[in-house]
Amino acid sequence: MIPIRGVYEVAIRVRDLARAETFYCQLLGLKVGLRDEQRNWLFLRAGDSSGMIVLQEDQGNWPIQHFAFTVRDSEIEQSVQQLREHGIALEGPIVHDWIPAKSVYFEDPDGHALELCAVLPKAV
C-alpha cells in the first residue's frame, strides 16, 4: 500500500477567475502562488506551504465539488461572523463526534460546497 500522508493540491473549475480570486484571497485569505495566464489558472496557497487550491477558469459544465479547509477551533466563531458580514449563507457550526471536529459549511461564488473544519482533541 502507498503511504499517503495528505492532500497537497486540489483543482476546481470556476466560471469567472477574477471573481473566484477575490473570494478565495480577500475573504478566505489564500495567497497567490502562481498565475498561469496561458491556461487561465491561478494557484493559491492554502495556509502555510502544505497545500494549494488551483482555480481553473472553465465556461463549460462541470459538477459541484466539496472540499474543506482546516482552521483552529478558536477561529470558528470569528470565521462565522466574517462570512455572515459578507452575506455568505452558512450552516453550523456542527460538531462531528466521530472525527472529532467542528465544521461550518458554505458555498463559493460557483456553488462549490466549502467547509471550515477544526479538528478537536480526542475525548479521553
Query: pLDDT tens per residue, the chain (124 residues)?
Result: 877 777 889 999 999 999 999 999 999 999 999 999 999 999 999 887 678 999 999 999 999 999 999 999 999 999 999 999 999 999 999 999 999 999 999 999 999 999 999 999 886 5
pTM of the model: 0.89
- What are the backbone angles phi and psi of residue 61, rounded to the nearest 5°? -95, 135
Please report where in the chains the cell 478565495 appears, as a residue. 24
Query: Would you tell me which CATH number, out of the four given (3.40.630.30, 3.40.50.1220, 3.30.360.10, 3.10.180.10), belongs to the domain 1-62?
Result: 3.10.180.10
d(CA 123, CA 63): 37
